[in-house]
Amino acid sequence: MTVLTHKFLTKHTTAPFFQIDESEFVTAIDSEIANAKKQIEQIVANEQPPTFENTIEALEYSDEQLDRITSIFFNLNSAETNENIQKMAQEISPKLTEFSNDIVLNEGLFERVKTLHAQKDTLNLTTEQHTLLDKKFKSFSRNGANLSKDKKEILREIDKKLSKLSLTFGENVLAETNKFQLHLTDEKDITGLPNGALEAAKSIAKSQDKDGWIFTLNYPSYIPFMKYADNRELRKQMATAFGSKAFKGDELDNKANVLEIAKLRHQRANLLGYETHAHFVLEERMAKTPEKVISFLNELLEKAKPAAEREFSQLSNFAKKLDGISALQSWDSAYYSEKLKQELFNLDDEKLKPYFKLENVIDGAFTVAAKLFDIHFQQVFDIEVYHKDVKTYEVVDGNGKFVAVFYADFHPRKGKRNGAWMTSYKSQYRKNGTVERPHVSIVCNFTKPTESKPSLLTFNEVTTLFHEFGHALHGMLADTTYPSLSGTSVFWDFVELPSQILENWCYEAEALAIFAKHYETGEVIPMEYIEKIKASATFLEGMATLRQISFGLLDMNWHGIDPTDITDVKAHEKTAFENTRLFPENPKTAMSTAFSHIFQGGYSSGYYSYKWAEVLDADAFEYFKEHGIFSREIASKFATHVLSKGGTEHPMTLYKRFRGSEPKPEALLKRAGLLAE
C-alpha cells in the first residue's frame, strides 16, 4: 500500500518525499476521495439531529489526508514538475473538482448545514465556530446547492472544464519559459552586463556544452539582461520573447484558453445568480463589489498618473540626451531607469549585491522574526525534501516549544515555474486535544551561486524574500482550531498585509545593519548606501503604481463584465490598458496569455488586492515606526490580532483591534511620494 494513504511516520509527520513513488499519486488520491465520501455519507446518514460537532466539525475533518496528499502533489506541480506530473494533474484536477461538487451539491448534507445555520444564534458557538458555520453554509449556497438538478449538472461540467483549462494555461506558460534561450558568443553583444549576470549565463551555456553565454526568460537571467545590456536590439528580442509567451498561434498558445476561462467563469457566475464573476468573487472580499474595486483603482490612478507621466517624460528626455533615443520603448524602460537611478542616486544593484548574500538575508529575516515574535529557526537535515536545493528548518518559540517546519527553495530550474510564492504542506489546527503545527514553504527564483561567487541578491530580490517570508509567518504563527480558517486562509485582499508589511524592514537602517554585510569583508552596508536606498525608494513610483493599477484593471476587464462577445484577446487588452499606457504598443506581445495570477492562480478578480493591502501595510507600519520598528508591544499586538487569527473573524475587525482604527490611505500615498508630507 502506498505511503501516501497513511499517517506519515516521519519527523513532525512531514511529507515523506524520499518514499513517494510519484506514479502512486492518482491511486492514492482516488482512495482518499473514496474515504472522504464515506465520511460524508456517515454525516448525512446520522439519525441524530444535526449539531455543530456531528455535522460542521465532521465535515471540516472529513478530507484531512486527501488535503495533505493534494497539497504535496500540487506543490510539486509548481516547484518540481515533469511531464508525468503534468499528465497526472490533468487527470487528478477534474476528479477533485467533481468531489468538491459532490459535497456542495449533496442535498442531504446541505439540509443539515442549513438547519444549523438557521439556528446559529441559539447554538452557543464561539466566534470561530460561528465563522466556520457561516463559511460552510456559504460554500454550499454560493456554489450551487440551491440550483435545480439540471443546472447542477451544468455547473459540474463548467467546473470540470475550468480545472483542466487553468492547468493547461500554466503548462503552456512554463513550456514557453523553458523553450526560449538567447545564445550569444560575440563579446560585443554582452557589453554593459555585470560580471555576476555573465557568469550565470556562462554557467548555463557550459551546462549545455556550449560556448559563450545563454540568457533565459527566468527572472534571475531576464531581469539583469533588460537592466544592463547595451545592445538595444537584443533587449527588444528578449522583451518580445518574454511578452509573447503563449501568444504565438502555435500549440502553446493561450488565447483560446483565456477566452474560454473568462466565458466559463462568467457563465458559472450567471448560473449562480451573480451578474459577473467579479460580483461572485468579491462578495467574500473586503472590497465587496466590482464598483468598489474600480473606484479604488481609479482613485489611485488619479493620484499616480500625473506623477507617472512626469517620470516617463523625465526618462524619455534622459534616454534622448544619453543615446539619442527618439521614442522610448518598453524594452528601454529597465535599462534607462537603472542608468537614471545611478545618475540621480549614484546607486545600482551591482553596488548593493555584495551586501546581500542569500544566506545572510535568510538569517536576517530569521533575526527580524526573532526580535519581533520571539521565534527561532534551526536548520535541520533529517526532514525529507523534494529537491536537493531545498533547505529545511525547525521553528521554536522562546521557550523551545515547537512552532513549525519551514521549507525554503530558492533557485530556478526546469521543473519550477517563475516567480515567488508561499505555500503550505500542512495547516495548523486543533483536533482531539492535539495542536497540529504547520509545515510552511517559500519558493523563489534567485540567481544560483557560481564558481566564484555565492548567490548575491538584488535589492528587489531581498524585498521579495521578505515578502514571501511575511506570508510564511502568517502560516507559522497561526493559532486556530479549524484548518480551513488557519494561517493564510483569509479574505484575499487581506492576505497580502503580513507579506507586504515585512518588506518595510528592508528599508530601515536598524534592520539592514543585521544582515546587509559584504560577502567578502563582512563590512556592514555603509550608511550612505542605506540613505540612498531610502531616498530611491520612491524613484519612478508613479510609473510602478500605474503598472500595478493597469494589471488590476485588466483583471476587472476580464472578470467584471460579460466577456461573451470578446473574440480578440489583444484588442480587448488594448482597451483595458487605454488609460494606463505610457509605452507604445508592441503588437507581438500580450499580457493576458501569460497572466498566471488570474488565469492559473487564485487572483481572478483579486489582483487589486496588492494595492489594497498596501494601504493596510503602510498604515500598519506607521504604527510600528511610532513605537520603534522592533517594538515587542506592537509586534505582539500584530501577532495576536492578525497573524495568529487567520480567517476566524472579519479582517477589518482584526485590523482595528490591532491598530485601533481603520487604515488611512494617506499613509500609502505619502510613502509612495504621491502626497506631500
For the annotated catalytic residues, the residue numbers are: 468
Distance, in Å, from the CA atom of 119 to the CA atom of 268, rounded to the nearest integer, reads: 30
Going from the C-alpha of 353 to that of each of 27, 39, 444, 531, 560, the distances in angstroms are: 47, 54, 17, 16, 42
Task: Give dist(CA 220, CA 16) in Å, integer.
Answer: 30
Question: In this structure, are residues 94 and 164 in contact, taking their beta carbons and an 8 Å threshold?
Answer: yes
Give the whole-angstrom CA distance, residue 180 versus residue 225: 14
Interatomic CA distance for residues 135 and 283, integer angstroms: 12
CA–CA dist 347, 344 (Å, integer): 8
Please tell me the distance from the alpha carbon of residue 86 to that of residue 415, in angstroms, as a whole number: 10
Residue 215: phi, psi to the nearest 5? -110, 140
User: For residue 604, what are the contacts with CB-CB under 8 A and spacing of at least 6?
Assistant: 265, 277, 281, 555, 558, 559, 598
- The DSSP letter of residue 357 is B
Work out whether the CA dihedral 430, 433, 438, 439 comes out positive or negative: negative
Q: What share of the chain is helix, strand, coil (3-state, %, to 5)?
A: 60, 5, 30
Task: Let me know: does 654 contact 641? Beta carbons within 8 Å.
Answer: yes
Q: Judging by DSSP bridges, how do beta strands 429-431 and 402-409 pair with one another? A: unpaired
Strands of 421-426's sheet, edge to edge? 375-380, 391-397, 402-409, 439-443, 421-426
User: In a 10 Å sphere around its CB, with 0-12 CB exposed, 13-18 middle and 19+ buried, how is residue 217 labelled?
Assistant: buried
Hey, what's the cell of 156? 459540474
Three-state SS for 397? strand
Query: What is the spatial distance between Cα 123 and Cα 264, in angstroms, rounded to a whole number?
Result: 39
CA 470, 474, 478 angle in degrees (round to 5)?
Answer: 155
**For residues 259 and 256, what is the distance between their CA atoms, to the nearest angstrom?**
5
Closest CA to 454 of 537, 519, 535: 519
Asked if 590 and 242 touch (Cβ cutoff 8 Å), the reply is: no
- The Cα–Cα gap between 146 and 152 comes to 9
Confirm if 311 and 319 have CB atoms less than 8 A apart. no
Cell readout for 663 is 487604515
Distance CA 351, CA 82 (A): 38
What's the sign of the alpha-carbon dihedral 550, 654, 419, 290? Answer: negative
